[in-house]
A = this chain, B = another copy of it.
Amino acid sequence: MTPAVSEHLEPQELDGVQLWWRAANFLSAGQIYLMDNPLLREPLRPEHIKPRLLGHWGTTPGLNFIYAHLNRVIRMRDLAMMYVIGPGHGGPGLVSAAWLEGTYSEIYPDVAQDNDGLKRLVTQFSFPGGIPSHVAPETPGSIHEGGELGYALSHAFGAVFDNPDLIVPCVIGDGEAETGPLATSWHSNKFLNPATDGAVLPILHLNGYKIASPAVLARIPDDELLGMLRGFGYEPYLVAGDEPAPMHHLFAATLDRCLDEIAAIQRRSRREGVQQRPRWPMIVLRTPKGWTGPDTVDGKYVAGTWRAHQVPISDPRGNPEHLWQLESWLRSYEPGELFESSGAPVRKIREHNPTGDRRMSASPHANGGHLLRALRLPEFRDYGIEVEQPGASSGEATRVLGRFLRDVMRLNENERNFRVFSPDENNSNRLAAILAATARTWSAETLPGDDSLARDGRVMEVLSEHTCQGWLEGYLLTGRHGFFSCYEAFAHIVDSMVNQHAKWLKVAGQLAWRQPIASLNYLLTSHVWRQDHNGFSHQDPGFIDHVVNKKAEVVRVYLPPDANTLLSVVDHCLRSRDYINVVVAGKQPSPQYLDMESAVVHCTKGIGIWDWASSDDDGDPDVVMGCAGDVPTMETLAAVDLLLREFPDLRIRVVNVVDLMRLQGEREHPHGLSDAEFDSLFTRDRPVIFNFHGYPWLIHRLTYRRSNHENLHVRGYKEEGTTTTPFDMCVLNQIDRFNLAIDVIDRVPRLGPRAAYAREALKTKLIEHRHYVSTHGEDMPEIREWSWPGR
C-alpha cells in the first residue's frame, strides 16, 4: 500500500523541508516559554522565561512537519491549499508558520520579521493582551477555532464545496477522532462532487495519547484501522516513524502519491464525467507526541507519552536544571542556522515558502469575506400570499418560503455560492419547492425509487445536525451563503457548535483584517407547538434561550407570525452579515394576518400594535396582549375574539413581536427599544398578558428592567407535552385562548360581575375540550375552524 521510498526528495528539497520544520519547531517552543532572548543569542536566564507557561507542545511538531511538506508541494505543483487542523491547541505551530511565511508581519506589522518582531512574537503568545494559546480568528490562514474538538473534517468539506481548485489538507488528531461529530463526518465524501468541488486530504495524526489516556485509534491493530478507513471510502496510506530524514522521504512520497491521485480523480471526472464515487486518498501519520522535544524530564519519559501534551519541562524559571534542559532542547534546533542576524529567517527557509496567496497562511479562502459576493435575491414581495382580510385565510409559511428559496437557488446557480442544509428534513419542513431548482447532493449509490438525488445537488441532507452545521460553517467562513432548516428541538444538538461560531464571529468582528461573512441562518420549524404527533421528546423551544446568551452584536431572533412576515425576515437574513439569525416559523396551515406591505412595515419595526385586532381605539387599553410566534399569536387573537364577544367594550391592545431582541433595552442590544418606545407599546401600568413561543422566563429575562415589568404575565412552554392534538398542546401549557381569556378577566377589575360568569364558561370550555379530544382524537370543530372574524 505504502509507496516504496528511498530517496524521494532531492538533497536540497530535504534540506528546505528540514530547515523550515526546525525553524517552526524552534519558534513554537519559544512561544510557549520565552519572553526575551528569542534566538538564544545569550545564555538562557530565568528572566527570559514567562512566569506562567500556557500552551500545548505535544501536537505541534507534527503539525509543523505536515506544514513544511505542504509548502513543498504547493510550490512544486502551484496548488491552492488551505490548512485545517483539528488539534487547534497546537496554536504556536500555525503562528510560527504564518510568521515564517511573512503573512503574520504583513497583518501585524509590529510582529515583523526581525529581532524586535521575534521578541514580540514569542512574548505575545498566551500572554495578557497578546494572542490566544489555540488557533483562533487572530491566526492568519485559519477558519477553524482550535478549542472544542470534532468539527475539523466537516469544516474542511464545507470549505471545498464549490471550490473546485481548492485542496484542504485536514489534520485530525487521534483525540478528536473519538468525538461523535468527527466520527460521522468521514462520510462527507458521499456528498462531494469531484467535478465541481475541491478535495479534502484527511491526515489522521496518531500521536498516541490525549491529555492522559491513550487514543483509541492509536491502539487498534493496523488492519482494523485501515479497514475502517477503507470502509469510510478512503484509500489510506500509513506513514509511521520518528527518524526525521526517513520520515521526510516517506511523507513526501506519500503526499506526492496522494496529490497525484487527487489530480487524476479530478481530471477524470472533469473530462469524462463522474462515473462512480472515487476512492479519495488519505494519510495516517503516526509520530511520537512531542516529537523532537525532550525525551525524559526528571527521569520520566516525556516525548512519545501523554506527558508531552502541554508544557513538557515545568518551571525552568525556578528550577536551574530544568532551565538548562530547556536551553539544550531549544539549542538542539540550532537557531543560529535558521535566522539571520536581523532576526529574519534565512534564505533557504524563505525560499521554501510559497508566495503570495499560495501561502496557506494567506489563503483568501481563510478570510472568506474577501471572496464574498452578495446573493442575487428575487423580489420577495412577489412570493407573498394574498391576505384580503387579516386572519381570514390560511397558508403554510414554510411552503411559501420554499418557493422563494427555490428562486434564490436559481438566481445564483451560475455563481454556485448558495446551499441549503438540513438533517433529512427539507421536505418534512415543507421546503420541497427547492428541489425544483436543484437536487439533493448525493454521490453514493442511487436506485430507481430515489427522489431528487444528484452529484451536483445543492440541498445537503444527512442525518447529522453536526455535519450539516459543520459543512455550513465551513461554507460560510470561506465566503459563501447558506440556510439551515432544522426541527426546533434538535437544534440543541449543535448548541456547542453555535457557541463556538458565535465566539468566532465576535472576535473576528474586532479584527480589521477579517472581512464580514454571510450570516448563519437557521429556520427552526416543526416547532414545539406542532410536535403534537411526535410527542414530548420533540418538544423543546430552548434553542433561543441558548443563543441569546451570546454577544448581543452577533445574535438575532425572529418569530414571524405568518408567511409574508417570514418572507420579509428571511430576505433580510440572507442580506445580513456576521450574525447568527434564528428564525422560528411553523410549517402547518395557519391563519395569515398581514398583506405584504403590512408585513414589510411590521418586520421593519420588529414589533408593533396590531390596530385591526385591537379595541383600544382611544389608545388607553384595559389590557395589553403581547404575542410572539405563530401559534401563540393565533391563540392570542382567538382569545381577543372570545373576550370581545363577551365584553364588547373591553379595550384590548394587541402587540405582536417579530424581532425578539426589540424587547431588550437599547443599551443591551442594538435592536433594543428605548424605554419610552417600550412604554408606548406596553404602557406603564396596565396588565400585559404575553403569549410566547418559548419558555416564559426568556421574556422576563429580556424585560426585567422595563417599568411595567411588574404587570407582565407571560405564558409559554412549561415543559408539558406528549402525543396529542395541536390545541391540546396549547392547553397543557396554558397558552390557549381559554386560559388567556381567563388571564385577562382575572386582571381587569372593571369587568364587574359578568366576569365571574364568563370565567366559569371558559373553564367549562376547557373541560369540554378535554372530553372531546379524548373521545374523538382530534380538536373540537370550533377550534379547528376558528378564524379571525374581523372587527
Task: Please provide the chain A residues from 485 to 536 with a CB less than 8 Å away from any CB of chain B in the complex.
Answer: 489-490, 492-493, 495-496, 499-500, 503, 506-507, 533-536
B175 pairs with A535, CB closer than 8 A: no
How far does the alpha carbon of A549 sit from the alpha carbon of B551 in the complex, in Å?
Answer: 20
Which of A7-15, A64-72, A179-187, A393-401 interfaces with chain B?
A179-187
**Which residues of chain B are near A556, meaning CB under 8 Å?**
none
Of the residues B89, B186, B214, contact of A450 by C-beta under 8 Å: B214
**Which residues of chain B are near A534, meaning CB under 8 Å?**
89, 133-134, 147
Query: How distant is A728 from chain B, measured CB to nearest CB, in Å?
Result: 5
Interface flag for A786 (CB, 8 Å)? no
Query: How distant is A244 from chain B, measured CB to nearest CB, in Å?
Result: 22
How far does the alpha carbon of A127 sit from the alpha carbon of B184 in the complex, in Å?
Answer: 36
A131 pairs with B723, CB closer than 8 A: yes
**Which residues of chain B are near A146, meaning CB under 8 Å?**
537
Interface flag for A225 (CB, 8 Å)? yes
**Which residues of chain B are near A216, meaning CB under 8 Å?**
187, 190, 444, 462
How far does the alpha carbon of A230 sit from the alpha carbon of B233 in the complex, in Å?
Answer: 14
Task: Please provide the chain A residues from 60 to 91 with a CB less than 8 Å away from any CB of chain B in the complex.
Answer: 89
**Which residues of chain B are near A571, meaning CB under 8 Å?**
none
Query: How distant is A585 from chain B, measured CB to nearest CB, in Å?
Result: 19
Task: Please provide the chain A residues from 674 to 728 with a CB less than 8 Å away from any CB of chain B in the complex.
Answer: 695, 697, 700-701, 704, 709, 719, 722-725, 728
A774 pairs with B129, CB closer than 8 A: yes
Interface flag for A602 (CB, 8 Å)? no
Which of A335-343, A463-471, A631-639, A645-653 interfaces with chain B?
A463-471
Which of A104-112, A371-379, A425-433 interfaces with chain B?
A425-433
How far does the alpha carbon of A500 sit from the alpha carbon of B535 in the complex, in Å?
Answer: 12
B447 pairs with A214, CB closer than 8 A: yes
**Which residues of chain B are near A507, meaning CB under 8 Å?**
536
With A148-B490, A148-B493, A499-B492 known as contacts, the answer to whether A424 contacts B213 (CB < 8 A) is yes
Interface flag for A50 (CB, 8 Å)? yes
Of the residues B220, B306, B446, contact of A451 by C-beta under 8 Å: B306
Interface readout for A526-560 with B: 1 if CB under 8 Å, 0 if not? 00000001111110101001100111000000000
B224 pairs with A427, CB closer than 8 A: no
How far does the alpha carbon of A187 sit from the alpha carbon of B179 in the complex, in Å?
Answer: 11
Query: How distant is A61 from chain B, measured CB to nearest CB, in Å?
Result: 18
Interface flag for A440 (CB, 8 Å)? yes
B50 pairs with A428, CB closer than 8 A: no
Interface flag for A54 (CB, 8 Å)? yes
Interface readout for A218-255 with B: 1 if CB under 8 Å, 0 if not? 01110011111111110000000000000000000000
**Which residues of chain B are near A186, meaning CB under 8 Å?**
183
With A542-B549, A549-B542 known as contacts, the answer to whether A211 contacts B537 (CB < 8 A) is no
Of the residues B221, B229, B536, contact of A136 by C-beta under 8 Å: B536
Query: How distant is A258 from chain B, measured CB to nearest CB, in Å?
Result: 19
Q: Quick one: closest B residue to A49, CB to CB?
A: B777
A440 pairs with B213, CB closer than 8 A: yes
How far does the alpha carbon of A425 sit from the alpha carbon of B149 in the complex, in Å?
Answer: 14
A424 pairs with B175, CB closer than 8 A: yes
**Which residues of chain B are near A446, meaning CB under 8 Å?**
214, 219
Interface flag for A293 (CB, 8 Å)? no
B133 pairs with A213, CB closer than 8 A: no
Query: How distant is A606 from chain B, measured CB to nearest CB, in Å?
Result: 20
**Which residues of chain B are near A458, meaning CB under 8 Å?**
none
**Which residues of chain B are near A704, meaning CB under 8 Å?**
700-701, 704, 709
Interface readout for A25-36 with B: 1 if CB under 8 Å, 0 if not? 000000000010
B719 pairs with A550, CB closer than 8 A: yes
Interface readout for A305-334 with B: 1 if CB under 8 Å, 0 if not? 110000000000000000000000000000
How far does the alpha carbon of A402 sit from the alpha carbon of B289 in the complex, in Å?
Answer: 28
B462 pairs with A723, CB closer than 8 A: no
Q: Quick one: closest B residue to A190, CB to CB?
A: B216
B536 pairs with A132, CB closer than 8 A: yes
With A183-B183, A428-B211, A449-B305 known as contacts, the answer to whether A128 contacts B224 (CB < 8 A) is no
Of the residues B440, B466, B776, contact of A51 by C-beta under 8 Å: B776
**Which residues of chain B are near A621, meaning CB under 8 Å?**
none
Query: How distant is A304 from chain B, measured CB to nearest CB, in Å?
Result: 7
How far does the alpha carbon of A485 sit from the alpha carbon of B427 in the complex, in Å?
Answer: 40
A774 pairs with B211, CB closer than 8 A: no
- Interface SS of A by simple majority: loop
Interface flag for A630 (CB, 8 Å)? no
Query: How distant is A30 from chain B, measured CB to nearest CB, in Å?
Result: 15
**Which residues of chain B are near A229, meaning CB under 8 Å?**
231
With A213-B440, A719-B506 known as contacts, the answer to whether A180 contacts B178 (CB < 8 A) is no
Query: How distant is A724 from chain B, measured CB to nearest CB, in Å?
Result: 4
Interface flag for A301 (CB, 8 Å)? yes
**Which residues of chain B are near A215, meaning CB under 8 Å?**
463
Interface readout for A335-372 with B: 1 if CB under 8 Å, 0 if not? 00000000000000000000000000000000000000
B128 pairs with A773, CB closer than 8 A: yes
Interface flag for A155 (CB, 8 Å)? no
Q: Quick one: closest B residue to A728, CB to CB?
A: B128
How far does the alpha carbon of A773 sit from the alpha carbon of B300 in the complex, in Å?
Answer: 33
**Which residues of chain B are near A545, meaning CB under 8 Å?**
545-546, 549
Query: How distant is A235 from chain B, measured CB to nearest CB, in Å?
Result: 12
**Which residues of chain B are near A287, meaning CB under 8 Å?**
none
**Which residues of chain B are near A723, meaning CB under 8 Å?**
54, 126-127, 130-134
How far does the alpha carbon of A231 sit from the alpha carbon of B225 in the complex, in Å?
Answer: 6
Interface flag for A410 (CB, 8 Å)? no
How far does the alpha carbon of A724 sit from the alpha carbon of B453 in the complex, in Å?
Answer: 50
B304 pairs with A449, CB closer than 8 A: yes
Interface flag for A461 (CB, 8 Å)? yes
Q: Quick one: closest B residue to A425, CB to CB?
A: B211
How far does the alpha carbon of A546 sit from the alpha carbon of B491 in the complex, in Å?
Answer: 13
13 A-B interface contacts by CB (under 8 A): A128-B777, A134-B534, A208-B447, A210-B463, A212-B451, A214-B447, A216-B444, A220-B444, A225-B231, A227-B231, A228-B230, A503-B719, A550-B719
Report, nearest first, the 10 A-B pairs whose CB atoms are least far apart.
A147-B537, A228-B231, A180-B180, A183-B184, A492-B496, A183-B183, A227-B231, A178-B463, A128-B773, A219-B444
The residues of A with any CB-CB pair to B shorter than 8 Å are: 35, 50-52, 54, 89, 126-134, 136, 145-150, 175-176, 178-187, 190, 208, 210-216, 219-221, 224-233, 301, 304-306, 424-428, 440, 442, 444-447, 449-451, 453, 461-467, 489-490, 492-493, 495-496, 499-500, 503, 506-507, 533-538, 540, 542, 545-546, 549-551, 695, 697, 700-701, 704, 709, 719, 722-725, 728, 773-774, 776-778
- What 17 additional pairs, Cβ within 8 angstroms, besides A147-B537, A490-B496, A701-B704? A128-B777, A134-B534, A134-B537, A148-B537, A178-B462, A179-B463, A179-B466, A180-B182, A211-B425, A211-B427, A212-B425, A220-B233, A225-B231, A226-B231, A231-B231, A493-B495, A697-B701
